[in-house]
Structure formats: structure tokens, C-alpha cells
Structure 1
Amino acid sequence: MKAVGWTDLMKLSATLYIVSSFSPVAQDIVSTGAGQQLFNNACRTCHSIRDGDNRLGPNLHRIVGRKAGSLPDYNYSSAMRDADLVWDEAKLARFISNPDEVVPGNKMAPYGGVASAADTRKIVVFLSSLRTQ
């Protein structure tokens, strides 16, 4: 029997997080538009959810599963280009809450993060719902 390593546990955790994101509560967040409203209030000034529509920040169309700093038509900070991470729901939640903790040197200033964990979760559920659109 193979020993379970840290990487295996992180993959399992991410998988469970993604599966749980489409629970009835998550479906309710998407259907009521609560996540989109929070996204609009906290993120839309700089980000779009439309493919190719980059603004002050890159578009977040299908952000879940995308390598950080990888859109060819956006001028990312070197910190984001070199971050060597792929956005999953857990990383997005951490980044939305405190961008400087996840990718120090990013270009998100003066944005300091969403303080409410519940609001962060709703935004992440909304962005995750865009994976198939």
C-alpha cells in the first residue's frame, strides 16, 4: 500500500472542495445571483467575466483550472507570471481574501481583500459556475 503524501492530501482536499461547491447551498448561491452581486461589488471595477475582455485586471472567464498569469493578452506582474500555481477554488478563496498572502508583489493594490469568509465563498462559487460557460 502506497503511503499518502502531502501532495496527495492537497489534491484530495481540492477535489472534495470542488465537489462540495455544487452542493444545494452552492446551487442556491448561483441561482439567486448572490455571488454575482458580490463579484460586481468587489471585483467588477477591475475584472470582467467575459472571455478576452481584460480591463485593469485580467478577465476571470474560466479562471478555475487556469494557470496564474497565463493569459497571453494581459500584462501581468512578474510576481503573478512567476507564481507557478493553478487557480482552484481554495486558492481563489485565499487570494480573494488576501491577495498579498498568496502572490506577494501582485498588482491588486489598493484592493485589500474581502473580509467576510461567507462573501468570499459566494464569489468563488460564482466564478466556479463559469467553468462550463
Structure 2
Amino acid sequence: MIRSIFLAASLTVGLVGIAHADGDPAKGEKVFARCKACHNADSDQNKIGPHLSGVVGRKAGSVADFDYSDAMKNSGLTWDEATLTKYLKDPKGVVPNNKMAFTGLKKDDEIANVIAYLKTKS
């Protein structure tokens, strides 16, 4: 009996962790409000930064009508979840000499939520 309770509790904790790792798009939209001055996720119109519509799965530095830094154009990155997670935490550390002035998001849940939001814009 105790073993069954422990197993059920372990599975519940594991599933909660998995759900959290996926992020919450609604919460991510609120965090993305900080990004809206420079980035657009609702259309393919660029601002100070490139649009982020369809960014998940896109090659870095590939929006045709945006003037990227050489560092970004030559980064060889593709914006998958793992790369976005690292980049959003430390943009200058992942792509030194890129143009983005933003220093990054420090909270893992905010990063997961922003990525979940951006995935809805693909």
C-alpha cells in the first residue's frame, strides 16, 4: 500500500514537472510584452529587431529583409527550443557581438512560457 502511494506521488510530481517544462503560452504572452518594443510576433513586419512570427524552427539570421549583425548571420544556429532557451537566458553569451541590447530573461519559467507563446505564432 505504502509503495503504491509513493509511486502515485512520484508520478504526479513528475507529470507536474513535465507540464511546467512545456510552458504556458498565456503567461508567455505577458512576458513577451517586454519584447514588443523591438519584436513583432503577430506578423512578418520587422521593428528594431526581426519579426518572430514563425521563429521556432527557423535558421538564425534568415529573415530576408532584416539587417542582422554578421555574428547572427554566421552563428549557424536554428531556433529550436533548446537554442532559444539558452539565447533568451544570455543573448550575448550565445551570440557574442549580436545587435540585441536585451540582457536576457533570468527566470526559467519565463523563458519556457515565452517559448510556448512563440510556438503559437509559428
Superposition TM-score tier, normalisation by shorter sequence: 0.7 to 0.9
| TM-aligned CA distance change 1:37 to 1:79, over 3 Å | same
Which of the pair has more CA radius of gyration? 2
User: How many angstroms apart in 1 are the aligned matches of 2:33 and 2:61?
Assistant: 22
For structure 2, the residue ranges without an aligned partner over 5 or more in a row are 1-17
**1:18 alignment counterpart:** none
1:79 alignment partner, one of 71, 75, 82: 71
- Residue from 105, 110, 114 that aligns with 1:114: 105
How many residues align? The count is 105
Match of 2:24 in 1: 29
Following superposition, the deviation at residue 117 of structure 1 comes to 1.1
The structure 1 segments of at least 4 consecutive aligned residues displaced by more than 6 Å after TM superposition are none
Alpha-carbon spacing, 1:27–1:108, altered in 2? closer, same or farther (3 Å): closer
Match of 1:39 among 32, 37, 45: 32
1:35-61 Cα deviation digits (max 9, x unpaired): 1000112x1111000332100000000
Could you state the TM-score of these two structures normalised by the residue count of structure 2?
Answer: 0.79
Q: Percent of counterpart pairs with the same letter?
A: 36
How far 1:130 moved relative to its partner?
Answer: 1.8
Aligned-pair CA distance for 1:27: 7.4
Deviation at 1:129, TM superposition (A): 2.1
- Where relative contact order (Cα < 8 A, 6+ residues apart) is larger, the structure is 2
Q: Tell me, which stretches of 5 or more residues in structure 1 are unaligned?
A: 1-22
TM-score, with structure 1 as normaliser: 0.73
